[in-house]
Chains A and B, each alone.
Chain A
C-alpha cells in the first residue's frame, strides 16, 4: 500500500517543490525512486529496443568441447527471448568468467585439490542488445571434466538496467540459493561418481594383482610385460589414492559447512559420522564410502565394479554429462523451481518490485499490529529476518561502489591477493569502454573478476561485482535484524521455524537455510579463495557498526529507521513523559524523530550481540519471495474487486463494513450459494485478524449456526432453506440477533446498528473513481492502516489504561473515551479502535502460543435497524 504503482507512475518531481515539505510524508528512503522524467518521455520506452519481451533467466555453460553455449531459459517459452541471440549472449557472459578456478595439481602438491570456490556475481550490460544481466558464475565438479570442473553461469537478463542494479542484493541472494542447491546436489553426485570410480579402480587393482601374480608364477622373472603390469598397478594405486583424497575432500565439505552454520540438520547422525571421518587425517576411504552410501540411493550399493584401463584420473569421456546428471535430478528440479520463483518475483516493473519490498520490510516492523489486516503476518513471523535484510538494504552496487576501496580491502584480506588482485590494467581498461556515469563509477571498483574479458569486446560493460565479505551490507543487515530476531543464535529454534517443508531426508531444500560465509581456512584448499561458513565474532561486527556510524555519512536507512521506530519512541518517551503531546495524533510525524533518535537506535543495535551471527556475505541465503500467502494477497486483491461492486450496489455497505470492523459478526443470509459466497468474498478484506487461512470467515454454512460459531467466525455465509432445518436456522438467527448483523441478500436488506461516522464513507464511497479491484484494495488497506495506527497508540499508552488508584475504574473509562476523541474518532470509530485494540492486546498477551484457544467474544447492547435498498 505504500507506494502503489498507481500512485508512483504519475509522480513528478516538480510536484514536490522544495518550499513545501509535508511533515506526514514518507521519508525519502521509503518512497519509490522517482522516474527521471525528461521531456515527458514515456517511462517504458527504454525497454522497446530490447529484443526480448520480458525478463528471463538464462543458464549457460562454458563447454570444454564447444565453448559457451546456452542450456536453458526460464521461462522456457521461446517467445520470451524473441529474437534475442542466446548464443551470442552466452558467449558474452561466459567470457567475463571470473577467476578461472584452478583445479588440479597446485604447485607444491602432488595431488589434485578441489576448490570450494565461491560463486562470483557480476553485473553486465550489453548496450547493443539493450540487455542487462546479473550474472552468477558457478562451477560444478565433474570427474570426467578437465580439471574436474565445469563452469556454468546463471544470468538474470532484463532490459531495465536499474532493475539489475537496484535489485542486485536480492538477485544475488536468490541466485545464491539456487546455486547452493545445484552445488549441493553436485557434491553428492560427484561423491557418488568418485565412489564408483574407486570401486572400479580397486577392482582393477585386484585384477591386475592377480594377473601380475600369475605372470610372476608363470615366468618367475621380470619380463617387460611384468614391468608394464607393475607400472600399471602403480598407476592404479596412485589413482586410487588420488580419488580417495578427492572423496575425502568432497565429503568433508558439507560437514564443515553444516558444522559452522546454523543449518537445518536433516541428517544429524549421518553428519556426525561424516565429521568423524573428516577429523581423521588419514582418511579411511571405506568409512568415507560408507558415509556417502548412507546418503546416496540404494542403487549404489548394488553397483558392480568394472575393470578400467588404468588411466589418469583426469581422463574424460567424449560425452559430457548434462546439468541434470551433474546434480542429482532431485536437486536439479529444486533449483529450477527456485529459479522459477526468482523469475516470478522479479517480474514486472522495478518500481513495483521495489515498493513491494519496502512494503514488506515495513510490515516486518509492525509485527504487533500487522496480524490485523496484513495477509503476510504469519509469513513474516517465520522469515522476517531473512527477508527484511535483503529488501531494505540499499541497492548494493551503487553503495558498494561509492565505498569501494574499503570493501575491496576487506575482501582481499582473506583472499590470495596474487590470484585476485587486479594488476592495474583493469582500472584503466573499463574507463574507455564505459558508456554511462554509473559505469564510470563502478568500473573503478570492478576487480579482476572481469578483467580477462574486458579487452575482448567493447560492447560489454562490467559494472562491477560485489565481494562476499561486504561489510557494508553486513552493517545494514545487522541493523535490520536486531529488531526482529534476537534468537537467531539458537539453532533449534531455527530448525523449528524452517522445518515444515524440509522434513524429507536430504531434501535439496536444506540448502536454502541461511548460512554465513566467511573465508575458509586453508586446511582443505591451500591458496585458494574458497569460502566456508563460519560465524564472525561479534566484536568485529560491532566495530564495523561503530565505524559506520562515525565515519560514514548517515545513509538513507539511518534516517529512515527511526521513522519505523516512531511508535516505540513515542510510546516510551513522549507519551509517558508528557501525555498531552502524545494525545495529539497529528504530532506523530517525522519531525519528532531527530538524528539523535537515529543514533540511539544504532547504539541499541551495536549493543545487542544476539543477532551478530549475521553473515559477512552477500551470499546469505534468504527465503524466496514467493510463498504461500502471496496467493492470499492475490485473492484479497480479487476480493477488492468484489468489494468495489458491493459498495456500488448496496447503499448500506457502510453499515456492513462498520459491523465487521467493530467485531460484530455479519451473517450473509441467502438461498443462492454463489451470491452468498461472492458477498462473503467481497467483505473479506474488512475483517480484522482474518487469519492466515481466513479462519475467521465461513463463506457458506448450511447448518443452523450455534453460539460457539460466533466465537470463531466474524463473517458467515448462511444458507436460507425452506426445510424445517431452515426454519431452525431462522430461529437461531432471531435468538442471537443482538450479537449479529444480518445481510439478507435475497431481500437486499441489512439489519444492524447504525453508523454515523465519516471514516467508512471514505473507505466505501459508492461514487469512487477507483476502477480496479487491486487499487481499491490498496485504498482500503491504507485507511485500515490508519485505523491500526490509532489502535496501536490507544493500546500502548499507559496512562489512559492504568488506574490512578484501586477504585478508579470510572476515570479509566473516561480517560479512554477522551483519548479516542482526541484521536479524532467518533463514537462509532471509537468502537472500531477499541475492538482492534482488544485484538492487539489478545495477540500480545497470548503471543504465538496457539495451543489453548481461549476465545471469547464481546458485544454491545445496541439497537439494530433494518436497512433497505
Chain B
C-alpha cells in the first residue's frame, strides 16, 4: 500500500507540471458523489461480472465468488468451492423452460472449473483434474442462442459461444466441451506459453493469441462430433500479444507488449490497419525519462482494449490511445493518463470513456475538439507520428499517411474517483445505477450519482409513507 502511495505522490509532482491532468477537487462533471464500500473478500478482487440489471458477481484471489445487489450493496450470496484463486470468470445466459437464466462459470488455480447458479448459489457442474488452470475469461455471443458452446482454453483463456452444443479445453491445448461439461475434442500440443486470449470469429472460427502469434482455429461440427483444427498462424506481431478483442463484425484487433496495434479482417485474416505506438519521450522530463528507460517495454504494452465498433481505446502503458477504426486514424491520445499502468478501459456514449489503473484511481475522460486545429500544442503528436516511420521493425505495410491534424481531438479529464488504496483491477458500469470497481485492496466500491440517489430515496420515502398511511 505504501508503495503505490509513494508512487502517487511522486507522480503528483509530475502531474503538477502538466496541469491539464490535475483535475483538482472541483469536478462539476463528475456525478459520482456517493460511494459505498463493499467488504467481503479477503484478497485481491480481480473479476467483476454483471449478472443482470441488479446483480453482479465478484471474484478474486481468495477463491470466493460473491454475488451482490448493486442498488443496496447487499451481499446476496457467497459461492464457496474453489480452494485457490479464481483465474477466470464469465457469465452466460441460457434458456430453460422459456425463461432466460444466467449462469456463472469460474475457473480456478485449483484446476477446477465450476458452473454456478447465481439464484441459489449451488454449484451445478464441476470439472476436476484439469491439467492446468484457466487464466482469462472472455464471453462472446453469437447470433443463434438456442444451444451453447463453451470453449475453454486452459492456462489462459475461457470463451463462451452461445451457439453450438459443445465446448473446448486443454492444458496448453484447446479443448472443446459441451454444455454438460463433457469433453468433445482437443487440439494437439501447441507451445509452452499457451493461449492468452481468444475471440470468436464468424463461421465457427476462433482466434487465439499465443505469445506472438494469433492462431485461427476452425470448429467442425458435424452432428455430435466436434473437431478443432488450426487453420492459420498470423505472425505479424513482434512481441507477446497482450490483448485481443472483436471490434465489429468484420474486424478484430490485437495489441502487443511493445505497442503494436493491428486490426485484422475477421473473414480473411489479413491486416486491415496497423499502428505502432511509440510514446515520444520528450526532453525536459528528466525524472520520468529515467523511469521510462528502465521500463520502456511496460510503458508501451497494450494491456487492454475496448471498442464500440467505431472507436477503439487502447490502454498503452499508463496512457490512453483512441483510434478511429473506419478512418484508420488516431483520434486522440494521452501519453500519461494515469500515474501507473492502465488496467481496464471502457468506452461510453458521446465520446466519454473511463479508465482505471494500478495507481488506485478511476478516471473519466471526454473527447473534446481541440480549440484550434493548428495549435502548436499538438507538436507532441507530430513527434509521435514521426516515430512510426523510424521503426525499422515495422512489419505492417506503410499504410500511414500524414496525420490529419483536423481530425485530432483532445482527451480531457472530466473527473476521477479516488477510493481504493490499491490497483483498481476492473470496473463494471450499471449505467444510472452506478459503477462498481474492484481492487487489490480487497474492496469493492459502488459509486453512485448522489443527486439521482437522493431523488430515488425521496420516491422510496413517499412510497413508504403511502403504505404506512402517514408517518
Which chain A residues have a beta carbon within 8 Å of chain B's beta carbons? Answer: 367-368, 568, 706-708, 711, 728, 731-732, 734-738, 795-796, 798, 801-803, 809, 812-813, 834, 838, 841-842, 844-845, 852, 854-864
Contact status A834-B454, CB under 8 Å: yes
Which one of A834, A841, A862, A864 lies within 8 Å of B461 (CB-CB)? A841
Q: Is B9 a contact partner of A862 (Cβ separation < 8 A)?
A: no
Expressed in whole angstroms, the Cα–Cα distance for A711 and B30 within the complex equals 20
User: From A368, which residue of chain B is reached at the shortest CB distance?
Assistant: B471
A-B contact pairs, 11 of them (CB 8 A): A707-B419, A711-B36, A731-B2, A795-B458, A801-B458, A802-B458, A802-B459, A838-B454, A859-B35, A861-B25, A862-B26
Contact partner of B25 (CB less than 8 A), chosen from A708, A813, A864, is: A864
Q: Which residues of A contact B448 (CB under 8 A)?
A: 856
Q: Are B418 and A738 in contact (CB under 8 A)?
A: yes
B71: nearest residue on chain A (CB-CB)? Answer: A854
Apart from A852-B74, A858-B450, A861-B33: 12 A-B pairs, beta carbons within 8 A: A734-B9, A738-B418, A801-B459, A801-B462, A841-B454, A845-B464, A854-B72, A856-B35, A856-B448, A858-B33, A861-B27, A862-B25
| Binary CB contact string for chain B from 429 to 471 against chain A (1 if under 8 A, 0 otherwise) | 0000000000000010110101110110111111011000011
Secondary structure class of chain B's binding surface, majority of residues? mixed
Minimum Cβ distance to chain A for residue B167 (Å): 39
Across the two chains, which residue of chain A brings its CB closest to B447? Answer: A856
Q: How far is the CA of A670 from the CA of B429 in the complex (A)?
A: 40
Residues of chain A lying within 8 A (CB to CB) of residue B37: 707-708, 711
- Min CB gap A768→B, angstroms: 32
Bound together, the chains give a CA A749 to CA B26 distance in angstroms of 21
A368-B471, A736-B418, A856-B73 known; A863 and B26 CB under 8 Å?
Answer: yes
Instruction: Tell me, rounded to whole Å, the shortest Cβ–Cβ distance linking B30 to chain A.
Output: 6
Which residues on the A side are within 8 Å of B39 (C-beta)?
708
Query: Could you say which residues of chain B place their CB within 8 Å of the CB of A860?
Result: 33
Q: Give bound CA distance, A708 to B420, whole Å.
A: 10
Q: Collect the chain A residues with CB atoms within 8 Å of residue B443's CB.
A: 707-708
Contacts of A798 in B (CB 8 A): 462
Number of interface residues of B (CB under 8 A): 45
Q: Is the CB of A728 within 8 A of B462?
A: no
CA distance A795 to B460 in the complex (A): 12
Q: For residue A862, which residues in chain B have a CB less than 8 angstroms away from its CB? A: 25-26
Once bound together, how far apart are the Cα atoms of A216 and B60, in whole Å? 98
Q: Given the known A-B contacts A732-B421, A854-B74, are A844 and B464 also in contact in the complex, defined by CB atoms under 8 Å?
A: yes
Q: A737 CA to B416 CA in the complex, in Å?
A: 13
For residue B223, CB closer than 8 A to chain A, the reply is no
Q: Cα distance A841–B456 when bound, in Å?
A: 10
Residues of B contacting A844 with CB < 8 Å?
461, 464-465, 471
Point out the residues of chain B lying under 8 angstroms from A706, CB to CB: 421
Most buried by B among A728, A861, A862: A861
- How far in angstroms is the closest Cβ of chain A from B25? 5
The answer on a CB contact under 8 Å between A857 and B26 is no
| Interface membership of B54, Cβ < 8 A | no
Please name the residue on chain B nearest to A812 by beta carbon.
Answer: B455
| List of A residues within 8 angstroms of B462 by Cβ | 798, 801-802
Docked complex Cα distance between A809 and B470 (Å): 26
**B95 proximal to A (CB < 8 A):** no
Which residues in B have their C-beta under 8 angstroms from that of A838?
454, 457
A270 to chain B minimum Cβ distance, whole angstroms, is: 39
A residues near B124, Cβ cutoff 8 Å: none
B440: shortest Cβ distance to chain A, in Å? 14
Asked whether B34 is an interface residue with its Cβ less than 8 Å from the other chain, the reply is yes
A812 to B456, CA, bound (A): 11
CA distance A794 to B264 in the complex (A): 58
A809 to B453, CA, bound (A): 11
B461 x A795 contact (CB < 8 A): yes
Asked if residues A842 and B457 are in contact (CB atoms below 8 Å), the reply is: yes
Given A844-B461, A859-B33, is A568 in contact with B471 using a C-beta cutoff of 8 Å?
Answer: yes
Residues of A within 8 A of B36 (CB): 711, 854-857
Nearest CB in chain B to that of A801: its residue? B458
Chain A residues with CB under 8 Å of B25's CB are 737-738, 861-864
A-B pairs, top 8 by smallest CB distance, nearest first, are A801-B458, A856-B36, A861-B27, A731-B5, A841-B457, A858-B34, A858-B450, A863-B25
Q: Is the CB of B470 within 8 A of A707?
A: no
A239 to B368, CA, bound (A): 106
Contact status of A801 and B455, CB under 8 A, knowing A707-B419, A738-B418: yes
Chain A nearest CB: distance from B399 CB in Å? 43
